Amino acid sequence: MNRVLLIDDEALAREVLRHYLANYHDFEIVEECANGFDAVKAIQKHKPDLIFLDIQMPRINGFETLELIEHKPAVIFTTAYDEYALKAFELQALDYLLKPFSEERFAIAIQKYLQGKNGFSEEVKLEALLQSAGKHIEEARRVVVKDGSRIQILPVDEISHLEAYDDYVKVFHKDNLYLKKNTLSYYEQSLNPKEFLRVHRSFMLNLNFLHRLENLDKHNVLAHLKNGMKIPVSRNGYVKLKEVLGL
């Protein structure tokens, strides 16, 4: 039995999926969710094999939902999102259904899922998908993290810096530290370069938080932040900082 989760803020869209899935007796709908917050909890609870996921949803979107989950199901997008934007990740996504879609098109997506069950692991597919999808406007202005059982939306202008930490990134927000399973390279590509600069192999700095630079010696520079924290700046990072700051 294939355990399925439906995630869409439109009740009619979920009804269409439910109607189409009724023809597949080896697929069981374990839950339906109208937003990403509930979806994260439902995925953790049911560990579905397959999710049908809308991209544009209130509060957190489909990509942000995927970033927050630990269990990695197969993903079929069901979205009205612009077809051209989907080109960036269609090779990594299992499939996407552009609304409104027919029952025949739905059947093709199901067949792709069944054929792909013996391919790459879903974790590998999702990591590739998230890395290639890029950021959308709302995501470039925020970082969504899990804090225990809670989901927090952090405005990027309140984040002082980011630090690489094994397979995670430490996100420093006000007086709090959050771990995000991602890479600094991802944020280097997605955050506004006029605000965030990679000043070291392991650190990205929000330039609005820079208080002063301290030259420790000819090879080592320390950035003092307005919140009292200090981070190292590499030689290459120092060159980039001087260029950005006009020094």
pLDDT score of 49? 94
Q: Per-residue pLDDT for 211 more than 80? A: yes
pLDDT score of 85? 52
Answer whether 19's CB lies under 8 Å from 46's CB.
no
pLDDT score of 119? 54
Tell me if domain 2-133 and domain 152-245 are identical in fold: no
Q: Which helix (H) or strand (E) holds 60?
A: none
**Packing angle between helix 11-21 and helix 103-116, nearest 10 degrees?**
70
Q: What is the CATH number of domain 152-245?
A: 2.40.50.1020
Q: Per-residue pLDDT for 48 more than 90? A: yes
Top CATH class of 2-133 equals: alpha beta
pLDDT score of 204? 97
Give me the percent of the chain exceeding a pLDDT of 90. 57
Distance between CA atoms of residues 185 and 163, nearest Å: 11
What is the per-residue pLDDT across 118-152, written as a single tens digit (0 to 9) for each?
A: 554 555 555 655 555 555 555 568 899 988 888 99
Pick the range with the lowest mean pLDDT from 22-31, 42-51, 145-154, 207-216. Answer: 145-154
Query: Helix, strand, or coil here: 100?
Result: coil
pLDDT score of 138? 56
Cis peptide before 100 (omega within 30 of 0): yes
Q: Per-residue pLDDT for 63 more than 60? A: yes
pLDDT score of 130? 58
pLDDT score of 84? 45
pLDDT score of 208? 96
Domain ranges of the chain: 2-133, 152-245
Answer whether 129's CB lies under 8 Å from 89's CB.
yes
What is the per-residue pLDDT across 67-104, written as a single tens digit (0 to 9) for each?
A: 898 888 998 988 887 664 565 455 456 788 888 999 99
- DSSP state, residue 84: H
